[in-house]
């Protein structure tokens, strides 16, 4: 049997101690680096179909305010990105109605929705009667102005809204904002879904049907120019139909979040100016989202150094213009957003009323001149 001398035991213990100490010393910087990394903050924007205008706008916003580790443009003192660790992602959805319901339920961080839809949701009216008033929804910003497009097949002999009677007309899906506005337009012109042949397909499918001669017209709400509509007009398949006259007057009296607007001539190749109505697209969120998070997102979005990227992607009117960010809010601003707008001199809080208690959607505030 081998005899182990005490001195060997001592030397072995010393070597082991040094090895452990060296391992711990190497581990300390690695551990410190882990703790130095900002916590990842996931934030989603629910948009619309990939062929619409909400999806690319959501992608633009995400690219501007996300602040993942190691992005050079974010590592400056000018705060061109959102809070450190913020990762903003976009997801396609079925539109405004779906987005409002998802935000109110807390199943998505934020979404984009038409102002008229948000107002109906706050009052528990229209498509929100069954679910009730959406009390958790708050506005981050008024993003831009959209136009209602009534597009008709060139050979369908549709020159006005009244000519839709008896025609095959796409109103979009039940969870879209377009169908809400389209129904209001039909009603103002004294038409109903029973006086037309309604179609409820998504815009992408509806445009295919129109191209194939299986649909006479479609409604679409979006910031001009809309790619799918541009394609239909460029190919000589369709024309824009005006929304004007006494029907528009009745519509604007009933729907305070809609405004008279003209799609300028040349917006679509060869198309003259077209009278229509417009509605604002709002970025909405859940009231439970942290104030500092929303404040940091809004501050980054409207940082002047991001203006060039924003201007290169303009759609509709007042596109991501801070001067219009608090217009037509339909429901209260999120406290984090309100804080930024107050600091920037863009917003003065007024006594608030509970939107859900209103007998009809609240009238929009007057635009600043």
- Mean of the pLDDT values across residues 165-189? 97
Lowest mean pLDDT of 34-48, 106-120, 245-259, 303-317, name the range.
34-48
- 369 token code pair: 């001149």
**Angle at CA 347, nearest 5°, toward 341 and 353?**
115
* 313 domain-assigned: yes
- 51 token code pair: 């062929």
**Residues 348, 351, 355, 356: is their CA dihedral positive or negative?**
positive
Round to whole Å and give the CA distance between 341 and 320: 14
Count of domains observed in the chain:
1
Quick check: 260 pLDDT over 80? yes
Lowest mean pLDDT of 55-59, 71-75, 283-287, 290-294, name the range.
71-75
Output b/e per residue, 200-222; b: 16+ Cβ within 10 A: ebbbebbbebbeeeebbbbbbbb
User: Which among 268, 275, 324 has a CA at the least distance from the CA of 139?
Assistant: 324
Distances from the Cα of 35 to the Cα of 25, 26, 41, 84, 141, angstroms: 16, 15, 15, 14, 34
pLDDT digits (tens, 9 = 90+) for 115-165: 999 999 999 999 999 999 999 999 999 999 999 999 999 999 999 999 999
CATH number at residue 284: 3.40.190.10
- Mean of the pLDDT values across residues 214-235? 95
- Mean of the pLDDT values across residues 335-350? 91
Quick check: 25 pLDDT over 70? no
Quick check: 357 pLDDT over 90? no
Predicted local distance difference test score (pLDDT) of residue 193: 97
* 103 domain-assigned: yes
Quick check: 367 pLDDT over 80? no
* 188 domain-assigned: yes
Predicted local distance difference test score (pLDDT) of residue 78: 85
- Mean of the pLDDT values across residues 299-303? 97
Predicted local distance difference test score (pLDDT) of residue 363: 54
Quick check: 321 pLDDT over 80? yes
For 307, the domain range is 41-357
- Mean of the pLDDT values across residues 321-335? 95
User: Taking all residues of the chain, what is their mean pLDDT, rounded to a whole number?
Assistant: 88
* 21 domain-assigned: no
Lowest mean pLDDT of 22-31, 77-86, 185-194, name the range.
22-31
* 212 domain-assigned: yes
DSSP state string for 41-72? EEEEEE---TTSSHHHHHHHHHHHH---TT-G
* 290 domain-assigned: yes
Q: Exposed/middle/buried for 150, CB within 10 Å: 0-12, 13-18, 19+?
A: buried
Predicted local distance difference test score (pLDDT) of residue 34: 39
**pTM of this structure:** 0.85
Quick check: 35 pLDDT over 50? no
Check if the beta carbon of residue 152 is closer than 8 Å to that of residue 239.
yes
* 59 domain-assigned: yes
- Mean of the pLDDT values across residues 88-110? 97
* 36 domain-assigned: no
Predicted local distance difference test score (pLDDT) of residue 6: 42
Predicted local distance difference test score (pLDDT) of residue 279: 98
Quick check: 13 pLDDT over 80? no
Pair type for strands 259-263 and 238-240: unpaired
Q: Quickly state the pLDDT bin for 36 (edges 50, 70, 90).
A: low
């Amino acid at each position: 049997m081998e005899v182990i001398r005490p001195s060997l035991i001592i030397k072995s213990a010393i070597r082991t101690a040094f090895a452990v100490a060296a391992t711990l010393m190497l581990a300390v910087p690695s551990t410190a680096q882990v703790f130095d990394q900002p916590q990842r903050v996931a934030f989603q924007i629910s948009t619309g179909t990939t062929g619409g205008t909400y999806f690319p706008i959501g992608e633009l916003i995400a690219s501007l305010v996300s602040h993942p580790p190691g992005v050079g443009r974010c590592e400056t003192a000018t705060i061109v990105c959102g809070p450190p660790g913020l990762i903003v992602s976009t997801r396609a959805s079925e539109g405004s109605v779906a987005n409002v319901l998802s935000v109110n339920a807390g199943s998505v961080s934020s979404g984009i929705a038409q102002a008229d839809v948000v107002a109906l949701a706050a009052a528990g009216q229209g498509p929100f009667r069954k679910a009730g008033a959406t009390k958790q929804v708050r506005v981050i910003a008024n993003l831009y102005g959209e136009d209602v497009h009534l597009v008709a097949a060139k050979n369908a002999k549709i020159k006005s809204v009244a000519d839709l009677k008896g025609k095959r007309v796409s109103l979009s899906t039940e969870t879209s904002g377009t169908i809400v506005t389209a129904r209001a337009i039909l009603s103002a012109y004294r038409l109903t879904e029973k006086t037309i042949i309604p179609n409820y397909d998504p815009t992408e499918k509806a445009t295919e049907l129109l191209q194939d001669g299986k649909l006479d017209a479609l409604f679409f709400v979006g910031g001009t120019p809309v790619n799918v509509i541009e394609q239909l007009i460029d190919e000589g398949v369709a024309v824009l139909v005006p929304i004007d006259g006494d029907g528009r007057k009745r519509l604007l009296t009933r729907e305070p979040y809609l405004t008279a607007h003209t799609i300028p001539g040349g917006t679509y190749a060869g198309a003259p100016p077209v009278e229509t109505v417009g509605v604002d697209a709002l970025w909405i969120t859940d009231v439970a989202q942290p104030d500092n998070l929303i404040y940091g997102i809004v501050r980054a979005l409207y940082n002047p150094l991001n203006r060039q990227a924003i201007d290169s992607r303009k759609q509709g009117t007042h596109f991501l213009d801070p001067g219009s960010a608090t217009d037509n809010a339909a429901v209260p601003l999120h406290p984090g957003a309100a804080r930024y707008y107050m600091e920037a001199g863009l917003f003065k809080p007024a006594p608030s009323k509970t939107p859900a208690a209103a007998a009809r959607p609240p009238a929009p505030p007057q635009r600043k001149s």
